[in-house]
Homo-oligomer: A and B are copies of this chain.
Amino acid sequence: MTISKGPQVFPRTEYLRRLQAVKSEMAKREIEALVVTFDRNINYLTGYTARSAYVPQALVISNHDEEPSLILRLMDAPAGIHLTYLERNKVISYPEALVGNPEKDGYDAVIDFLREANLSNRGVGLEMGQLPARAAENFKKRLPDARFVDCTHVVTWIRAIKSELEIALMKEAAAIADAGMMRAAQVIRPGVHEADAIAEILSTLAHGANGKHGTGIANIYMCSSPRTGTCHITWSDDVFRQGSQVNLELGGVRHTYTAAVMRTFSIGKPSDRLRRLHDAEVAGLEAALGTVRPGATCNDVAQAFNQTIEKHGFQKDSRCGYGIGIDWNEAVTSLKEGDMTVLKPNMTFHLMLGNWLDEDFGYVLSETFRVTRSGADVLTGVPREIFEI
């Protein structure tokens, strides 16, 4: 029996628009095929969201075909048909014998496909920034007549500017992130095990907000005293304590589109240092948002933040944020001094003002925003305060 097409997150026209943008970039690079292996980019171009990227998979875009071909492991092909807009015959499966096989793997099936499609002596784009080195060597060895072009960020740059349909999902995701953060404010209490608070937050992130359910769970970072100088720890196997500070970062997810938010909690009265840093960061956040408009640069936003907190006697080592969308961070834009990327309407950013001043002391504050025609539209919306428990 054949599997039906599932409900599509976006209409076919949206995917074809994205595809056309990729083909324009391919033409500029004089390549006839692009092999997309980064799972977020495959998702963007097809609607495929299954979590199968732990084995090789690829979307092959050819100038000779209107629609691309999605090459998946046999067991994942039904999901490829069900989830994507692609015609059934554009979902190609490779046999299970290529899984757990030290001699050959799924990339060999991709290479075979390029040979059969007569693309083996053409210009071929690869995402060398994500493709494993061993796979890249295999492409070069088995396609000796191809001219390979590194196309690591070609699709990601296109992803950086969202359509209105994508913005709608980002807004839904932001409302879910807000709900998660407000739930955290209810459940972080002295004596409560961190994992038990996380249970409530996870539950909220799945239940969703405004009738829109969470469709995935992004990493949650919960860094409590004495770990407030760290940033990417999930949660500890301990309880919250009176006098502790908790730095929390989480995201809401709608069909892989993710909006993130960070807030700082204080169980008991915040220290003077924490209050001063908070005041500086809120001022910096407002200054940064105040610079956002089409034509300004990532550099401008970062400068506004940095100059403001410097006036308050602080500085921040790390960038002030980055593009955000499918599965959280995008790799191409950074809100940092020196990044001269020009802001355009419907770019979306995580204005990430986490500031880890000492090994054992940091503070977090962030918002997810989009660039509008005239400024910034902040999608997340929890109070910009230290949540005092």
Contacts and interface: CB of A to CB of B under 8 A. Distances in A.
| Among A75, A152, A238, A255, residue most surrounded by chain B Cβ atoms (within 10 Å) | A75
A336 B100 contact: yes
Contacts of A100: 319, 322, 331, 333-334, 336, 339
A242 interface: no
A284 interface: no
Contacts of A3: 226-227, 229-230, 359-360
B195 A51 contact: no
A196 B207 contact: yes
Contacts of A52: 232
Interface string A334-370: 1010010000000000000010101111000000000
Contacts of A208: 195
A30 interface: no
Contact of A232 (B51, B99, B319): B51
Contacts of A195: 206-208, 213-215
Contacts of A334: 99-100
Nearest to A134: B128
| Among A131, A133, A215, A219, residue most surrounded by chain B Cβ atoms (within 10 Å) | A133
A286 interface: no
A195 B204 CA distance: 10
A216 B206 CA distance: 16
Nearest to A194: B213
Interface stretch (A79-87, A111-119, A262-270, A287-295): A79-87
Given A100-B339, A227-B6, A329 B199 contact: no
Contacts of A152: 134
Contacts of A319: 96, 99-100
A130 interface: yes
A232 B79 contact: yes
A216 B233 CA distance: 10
Contacts of A136: 133, 136
A354 B73 CA distance: 15
A302 to B, nearest CB: 11
Interface in A196-240: 196, 198-200, 202-204, 206-208, 213-217, 219, 221, 226-227, 229-238
B213 A203 contact: no
A235 B207 contact: no
Nearest to A139: B133
Contacts of A82: 226-227, 230
Given A76-B230, A100-B339, 16 more contacts: A2-B360, A3-B230, A3-B359, A4-B226, A51-B233, A74-B317, A74-B318, A75-B232, A79-B233, A83-B233, A96-B336, A100-B333, A128-B132, A131-B132, A196-B207, A198-B206
21 contacts: A3-B227, A4-B226, A4-B360, A49-B234, A50-B230, A51-B221, A75-B354, A77-B359, A78-B356, A82-B230, A100-B334, A126-B133, A128-B133, A133-B133, A133-B135, A194-B213, A195-B214, A196-B206, A213-B237, A215-B237, A217-B217
